[in-house]
Structure 1
Amino acid sequence: MKKLMITAVAISALGAGVAMADGVVAPGDVKFEDGAVAMSLTGVPGDPSKASELMDRKFGNCIACHQISALDLPFPGEIGPPLDGAGSRWTEAQLRGIVSNAKMTFEDSMMPAFYKTEGYIRPGVAFTSKAPEGPLDPLLTAQQVEDVVAFLMTLKE
């Protein structure tokens, strides 16, 4: 997994959080309003063509819990709701919030927070059973979150 490198000092506040000099909102600076994140985490549009890779087992592993008919990926899960029509059910800001940290919208969700690095009770290294050795990286980078959201927005009913 790519490491999210944030080394600059905060320069301005946005509706979604504090923008860093490289244009990326740090995981701890994301601002949720009723579970939604209004502004892009990167200021760069997401690329929906990257969804197949990001939603497969190597990155987000969304298919472990969700059926996504638009993707030809094996073994879709049935724990979470099907993502077909997600772009019609939720706004872009709501989807960004759900992907970043679903518990901000659905308190009892089993879905992992894909853009969070602190506040865990028993953290592990990504999808392994190993304990972390130092600071945690988010499961997805800010741009990967934007890519997933861009794809989900294409899923209309």
Structure 2
Amino acid sequence: MRKLFVLCTAGMVMLPSVLAAETAPGDVVFGDLGAVEESLTGTAGNAEAGLEVATTRSLGNCLACHVAEGWAHMPLPGNIGPALTSVAHRYTEAELRGILINSKHMFEGTVMPSFYNVDDIIRPGDGYTGKAATSVEPLLSAQQIEDLLALLQTFDEPEEE
């Protein structure tokens, strides 16, 4: 009876970690056009946490290349990439997730970083040109990708015509 209790207790402790398992970068399934239908975490993203990722230079640093209504008040928003205001009207949730994970699947030749990719990474800069990255860790975690996705879905103002 005691063994049964120990086994049941161990199973209950392990169950939440099994249910909340993240999709590893190498296991992400991309659709034909780069969309990723399945959540990486099974947990909804948090737009507030996504804003922190997007505007923190050591994390996503999205504001270095993009301007968006959500962070227009912050210093030095970029203009290299497209404006992200109303991006949720231009792309589906699955397409946005795919772009965040590895934008190269949708936009060949883009300079946007692959935030949840560990394969075929080429680092920019003269000292690194043509050399594969040595890090095997993605730039962002699976939850940070889902948080950014939640943030982008709040940028839903339709574009003015």
TM-score in terms of structure 1 length: 0.77
SS in 2 for 1:25: coil
Letter matched to residue 109 of structure 2: D
SS in 1 for 2:119: coil
- Structure 2 unaligned blocks of 5 or more: 1-16
Do the aligned residues in 1 keep the contact of 2:123 with 2:132 (CA within 8 Å)? no
Which residue in the other structure is 1:110 paired with? 111
Letter matched to residue 106 of structure 1: F
Identical-residue share of aligned pairs (%): 45
Question: Structure 2: how far apart are the matches of 1:74 and 1:36?
Answer: 31
Alignment of 1:39-118 (within 5 A): 39-56=38-55, 57-71=57-71, 72-118=73-119
SS in 2 for 1:63: helix
SS in 2 for 1:154: coil
Which residue in the other structure is 2:22 paired with? 24
Any idea what the Cα deviations from partners look like across 1:105-126, whole Å, max 9, x if unmatched?
A: 00021000000112223489xx
1:69: how far off? 1.7
Q: CA RMSD in A?
A: 2.3
Do the aligned residues in 2 keep the contact of 1:52 with 1:73 (CA within 8 Å)? no
Bigger helix fraction: 2
Which residue in the other structure is 1:149 paired with? 149
Question: Structure 1: how far apart are the matches of 2:119 and 2:88?
Answer: 29
The list of structure 1 runs, each at least 4 consecutive aligned residues, that deviate by more than 6 angstroms after superposition, is none
Letter matched to residue 23 of structure 1: A
Which residue in the other structure is 1:120 paired with? 121
Larger radius of gyration: 2
Question: Structure 1: how far apart are the matches of 2:133 and 2:139?
Answer: 15
- Structure 1 pair 65/132, CA: closer, same or farther in 2 (3 Å)? same
Count of residue pairs the alignment pairs up: 133
Which residue in the other structure is 1:36 paired with? 35
Do the aligned residues in 1 keep the contact of 2:23 with 2:40 (CA within 8 Å)? yes
Question: Structure 2: how far apart are the matches of 1:117 and 1:80?
Answer: 23
- Structure 1 pair 123/31, CA: closer, same or farther in 2 (3 Å)? farther
- Structure 1 unaligned blocks of 5 or more: 1-19
